[in-house]
Amino acid sequence: MASEEFSGNYMEKARTSKGVSDFFPGRMTEFRRPAEGVFEFLTDNGVLLRVSLVGEGVVRFRFTPDGRFEDDFSYAVDPEHQPGTPEHEVVEFGDGVAIKTGSLSIRVNRGGLKTTVTDTKTGIILSQDEQGYHWQENKQYGGEIVKMSKVCRNGEHYYGLGDKSCDLNLRGRRFQMWGSDTYAYTPDTDPLYKNIPFYISLCKGAAHGIFFDNTFRTSFDLGAERPEVTSFFSQGGEMDYYFIHGPEPLDVIRRYTRLTGLVSMPALWTLGYHQCKWSYYPEAVVRGIADGFRSRRIPCDALYLDIDYMDGYRCFTWDAERFPNPKKMVAELEEDGFKTVAIIDPGLKIDPNYPIWQEAYDKGYFCRRQDGSLFKGSVWPGLCHFPDFTNPEVRDWWAGLFHGLIAETGVRGIWNDMNEPAVFEEGTFPRDVRHDYDGHPCSHRKAHNVYGMQMVRATQEGLRRNSNGRRTFSITRSAYAGTQRFACAWTGDNVASWEHLSIANLQCQRLASCGMSFIGSDVGGFIETPTAELYLRWIQLAVFHPFFRTHSSGDHGDQEPWSFDKKTTGLVRDAIELRYQLLPTVYTTFRQYVRDGTPMLRSLPFVDFNNPDAYWRSAEFFFGDHLYVVPIMAEGEEGRFLYLPKGDWFAYHDDSHPKAVAKDIWIECPLDRIPVFVRSGAIIPHWPVQQYVGEIEHPEPELRIWTKLGSETSEWYEDEGDGQAWRDGGFRESKINLQGDKGSLSLHREWHGHWEPGYETVHLTFCGIDSDAPDLKVLIDHHEQRAVRGDDGRYRVNTHRNFYSVNLEWTPVKAPKRKAGEKKSQPEK
């Protein structure tokens, strides 16, 4: 009889008995400085840590367990990022080494290479290793499972991680990065479509960020398993992360966005309203949708073609029966103000009679399995092969395929879908699929999270080559950190529900905080059919999302703005018209994103960061510098409590002036509007309503100016709205300083750039002035003019486009005197 000790599978028994061990760095034996701002620490068991100063407030930590690093390659970090090395000094002491810059002290302990990062100005510890760097041998795939654990401080809260559908505050939760096609996801679904391994820590007003640049399947534990510990770990690759200092949360986001790539100015039409459905076909239906907008006077700038425009879902083809003359259709739509956007997926149908598939097959551009066979999977065309977009030669070939759609047919934007990558059989590619990875061959375990990013990178290049100098427009569902350089995005296959309206609000805020401000959701929900009220409230929210598009599944009913009752159609029209009035403000806010990396959507905790009461708030958000948006996200809600930060605010719609003391206040929320508040002293540029961008050749802007006791600064950016002249100073970027006192207001304007507007007149509207005078005298550039009071209580005056100073004086309304013994009246509850 066999001994029980040797029964069964001996290797399995040995593996189980030995368990899985974590390995840790030993004691530091060598400290060296191979380059300016670069420091290396070697231990007695061969672990090497490289600390690099990659800009003021940004420190890179890179570990390897065997004393040498692989090639330094990243898809995320912008190759044009040239921050310079900050001034620093090095101090060696008994237990370690400290590297000090003007803002940070980075201390590396000799025993185990544990690190501590301290704010040199406040002395506060910002980040401290718990176990620090450690690893496991990956017996199944080779390489290491790399880990990092840090102390989770009392009062520390976490935000970010890109595409997550839960509450903004991530404290006490665990997440993964593995791009997935998640149809009808919920608040608890994880992972989702996009992979942005970057989080923001906020603790008692001080902020920093961690960006873990690792494309393998990655996990983050933000105090879930152990409340006093936060950790991040990956199934392969290196422990390679960036510490990004604030001290304010928006500073962290700006530095992260500059590290992973600033974006370009978009064409103005891309910020208008867009209409999409799976699918608008044949051509008569597309033209009917266009007529529906223009006949009802509902503004719209873009119509979308989903997969049914293709011949059997073959990319870069047209169905000749449904669209017999696409070039003519696209040109005539553009004459009526509509840009055409077409979908392109990664899977190419296996068909020897399909020239694009045949060319890719002949050139060896498709992904292969580990044994050398071509990988094939099913998507909409049936069985497909998939290009390896991590191969630069494949990307160059793919970019060339867009000549027909863009240069010849006139399509103006490309929408990349299914690029997680998604396949019907197992959800995505098998792990053994091989990729070039720009000359660093690897398996799909490493390339999965960047596949969609590299696809849209190639798409963007194809648009650039074929757009004749126009600004390009590309959209992606999947992304990795840095994808903002190549595309805008939407939040995937959501549901027509009030819960998903709330999720859309959270997702767009979170993605904006992770470098992807050009973001939106499928307005109204992709799956199922919204009620009239839900659709209206979603439209009202999306007015303040940079990417503004209704998209729905064709098998769930119509979802155009006129698909509901007449009253709803009118209210939806009003909301979309508001977006077109606010386009100069949206464009100016986008300019700040392009120039500085400042997010367009700014979550309340990132602005009111010194108030811990704001750390768990997630519904309200800031759009740009001066607008505070409070979405309505419950059925039948015509009033609600909202959190108004301490300060001086006006209601955008009627100039009412609530007292803000950083607590909840009650407001009315009728169906015809959502609450929007304006910071006192703000100057908000507007345009007249247009049916599409460019309908009015040179729209005369209106500057709405809210009074203030004190000073405030506002920005206003203008350019041609398309083309590349903005890169060489072809813009006008104004900074307007406002100074207000009781009964007086003065503006001083400066600008730079050499663009000259085509309009002559600017309309000035003064809001919130406490005067009963029917008209006021105004000095504009030292010339007296008269401002006329409208029925809405606002004062208006016209001036020249090149005005530089405004002075306004009035006699304030005197509060009525109370009789002796009379008590001050109290507002009704």
- Reported as type and span, the H/E element at residue 575 is helix 566-581
Q: What is the CA radius of gyration of the chain?
A: 29
CB-CB contact of 442 with 455 (8 Å): no
**Residue 451 structure tokens:** 């596949």
Q: What is the pLDDT of residue 81?
A: 84
> Which residues are tagged catalytic?
417, 420, 493
* Most confident of the ranges 84-88, 302-306, 553-557: 302-306
Q: What is the pLDDT of residues 374-432, one digit of tens each?
A: 999 999 999 999 999 999 999 999 999 999 999 999 999 999 999 999 999 999 999 99
Contacts for 734 with CB less than 8 Å, ≥ 6 apart: 715, 716, 717, 718, 749, 750, 751
**Residue 214 structure tokens:** 């690792």
Residue type, 585: T
Specify the 3-state DSSP secondary structure of 361.
helix
pLDDT > 70 fraction of the chain, expressed in percent and rounded: 96
Q: What is the pLDDT of residue 11?
A: 36
**Residue 594 structure tokens:** 């392009």
Q: How far apart are alpha carbons 358 and 345 in whole angstroms?
A: 17
Specify the 3-state DSSP secondary structure of 144.
strand
Is it the case that residue 605 has pLDDT exceeding 50? yes
225-259 burial, b at 16+ Cβ within 10 Å, e below that, comes to eeeebbbbbbbbbbbbbbbbbbbbbbbbbbbbbbb
Q: What is the pLDDT of residue 9?
A: 43
Pinpoint the alpha helices (H) of 302-413. Answer: 326-335, 355-363, 392-400
Q: What is the pLDDT of residues 95-112, one digit of tens each?
A: 999 999 999 999 999 999
Q: What is the pLDDT of residue 817?
A: 58
Is it the case that residue 816 has pLDDT exceeding 80? no
Compute φ and ψ for 339, nearest 5 degrees.
-90, 145
Residue 823 binned pLDDT confidence (cut-offs 50, 70, 90): very low
DSSP assignment of 15-37 equals HHHH----B---BEEEEEEEETT
Q: What is the pLDDT of residue 19?
A: 60
Residue 293 binned pLDDT confidence (cut-offs 50, 70, 90): very high
Q: Are strands 710-719 and 731-741 parallel, antiparallel or unpaired?
A: antiparallel
Residue 819 binned pLDDT confidence (cut-offs 50, 70, 90): low
Q: What is the pLDDT of residues 533-575, one digit of tens each?
A: 999 999 999 999 999 999 999 788 899 999 999 999 999 999 9
Give the residue from 545, 620, 535, 520 showing the smallest Cα distance to 573: 535
Q: How far apart are alpha carbons 648 and 626 in whole angstroms?
A: 11
Give the residue from 383, 387, 409, 360 showing the smallest Cα distance to 458: 387
In the numeric block, the tokens 């000749």 are attached to: 320
Compute φ and ψ for 794, nearest 5 degrees.
-95, 150
- 188 HSE (CA, 13 A, CB side): 0
**Residue 127 structure tokens:** 């980040």
Q: What is the pLDDT of residues 660-713, one digit of tens each?
A: 667 788 999 999 999 999 999 999 999 999 999 999 999 999 999 999 999 999
Q: How far apart are alpha carbons 723 and 622 in whole angstroms?
A: 29
**Reported pTM:** 0.95
Q: Are strands 239-245 and 639-644 parallel, antiparallel or unpaired?
A: unpaired
Dihedral, 138, 140, 141, 142 alpha carbons, nearest 10: 40
Residue 815 binned pLDDT confidence (cut-offs 50, 70, 90): low
Specify the 3-state DSSP secondary structure of 288.
helix
Is it the case that residue 12 has pLDDT exceeding 60? no
- Reported as type and span, the H/E element at residue 148 is strand 144-151
Q: What is the pLDDT of residue 299?
A: 98
Average pLDDT over residues 605-626: 95
Q: What is the pLDDT of residues 29-82, one digit of tens each?
A: 999 999 999 999 999 999 999 999 999 999 999 999 999 999 999 999 999 988
Q: How far apart are alpha carbons 107 and 241 in whole angstroms?
A: 16
Orientation angle between helical segments 566-581 and 532-542, nearest 10 degrees: 0
CB-CB contact of 234 with 214 (8 Å): yes
Q: How far apart are alpha carbons 684 and 705 in whole angstroms?
A: 7
